[in-house]
């Protein structure tokens, strides 16, 4: 399976600021995904990031709030913009497995917005 | 109806017993099914996948799939305290989209 790292692992931010989360994979992957997991909840897909094209956002998520970059096949960033306490969550990036169906997850970024 | 449903638990099982985790899904065209384990404060970890009806065994874990009943389960034999975690069922829909259940919290009591 791919080795995935995320930075930062956790952060405490002030309301109204923005945070960019980085996701690095040790191999080239076509599709990368960004999820949010709020306390006690399951995973909610924010967007799918393909290299060389605009990210595809799920219902309820917009590019202005969660801009995503995918400059190459091993790296992606997710920015959480103009944060509010409701954005406090764990943000996870994932990549498709070799078979192309299931996904492997990074360690997550724990965000607390005050 | 949720696309992937799991009992949220907590499911409490004595050490050494069999833990049975259940998941139902609504999309009859789904073909691929996965179980993830998530320890508190950690990210989900893939532990089992199953594509065909019947049972699939891997160590102490057995995944069971019944497509006619749209039901997938995970059995954990000889449960250990280290099995205490939240178990997420994931299904790849007929639209090739992976959908996660809300998870079942399993607690193994010594």
Q: How far is CA A108 from CA A12, A22, B5, B94, B96, in A?
A: 14, 10, 24, 28, 24
Using the structure block, give the residue that is written with the tokens 């939240």: B86
Average the pLDDT over B6-13 and give the result: 91
CB contact under 8 A, A102 and B98: yes
Per residue in B42-88, pLDDT (tens digit) is 999 999 999 999 999 999 999 999 999 999 999 999 999 999 999 99
Q: Is the CB of residue B48 less than 8 Å away from at least one CB of chain A? A: no
pLDDT of residue A100: 59
Which runs of E-coded beta strand occur in A1-114?
4-7, 10-13, 19-25, 31-37, 44-50, 56-57, 68-72, 75-80, 89-96, 103-105, 109-113
- Residue A38 CA to residue B97 CA, distance in Å, equals 21
Please give the C-alpha separations between residue B95 and each of A75, B16, B27, in angstroms, as whole numbers.
26, 40, 10
- Give the per-residue pLDDT at A40: 77
Is the Cβ–Cβ distance between B22 and B106 less than 8 Å?
A: no
Tens of pLDDT along B17-41? Answer: 999 999 999 999 998 999 999 999 8
> Which residue of A21, A41, A43, A96 is the best one to mutate when testing the B interface, meaning the one whose CB has the most B CBs within 10 A?
A43
Q: Give the model confidence (pLDDT) of A22-76 as tens digits.
A: 999 999 988 899 999 988 788 999 999 988 778 999 999 999 999 999 999 999 9
Q: What is the pLDDT of residue A101?
A: 66
- Average pLDDT for residues B96-106, to the nearest whole number? 91
pLDDT of residue B20: 97
DSSP string, B6-25: E----EEEETTS-EEEEEEE
Contact at CB, B90 and A102, closer than 8 angstroms: yes
Q: Are A94 and A24 in contact (CB under 8 A)?
A: no
B 75-104 residues with CB < 8 A to A: 88, 90, 92, 96, 98, 100-103
The predicted model gives A83-101 an average pLDDT of 87
């Amino acid at each position: 399976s791919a080795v995935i790292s995320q930075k930062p692992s956790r952060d405490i931010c002030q309301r109204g600021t923005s945070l960019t989360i980085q996701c690095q994979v040790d191999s080239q992957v076509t599709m990368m995904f960004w999820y949010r997991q709020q306390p006690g909840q399951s995973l909610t897909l924010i967007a799918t990031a393909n290299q060389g094209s605009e990210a595809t956002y799920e219902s309820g998520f917009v590019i202005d709030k969660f801009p995503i970059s995918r400059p190459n096949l091993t790296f992606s960033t997710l920015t959480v913009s103009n944060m509010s306490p409701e954005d406090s969550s764990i943000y996870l990036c994932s990549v498709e497995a070799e078979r192309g169906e299931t996904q492997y997850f990074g360690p997550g970024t724990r965000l607390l917005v005050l | 109806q949720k696309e992937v449903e799991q009992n949220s638990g907590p499911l409490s099982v004595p050490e050494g017993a069999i833990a049975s985790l259940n998941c139902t899904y609504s999309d009859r065209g789904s073909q691929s099914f996965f179980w993830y384990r998530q320890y508190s404060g950690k990210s989900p970890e893939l532990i089992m996948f199953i594509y065909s009806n019947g049972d699939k065994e891997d160590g102490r874990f057995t995944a069971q799939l019944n497509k006619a009943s749209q039901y997938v389960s995970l059995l954990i034999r000889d449960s250990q305290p280290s099995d205490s975690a939240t178990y997420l069922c994931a299904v790849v829909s007929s639209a090739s989209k992976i959908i996660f259940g809300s998870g079942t919290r399993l607690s193994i009591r010594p």
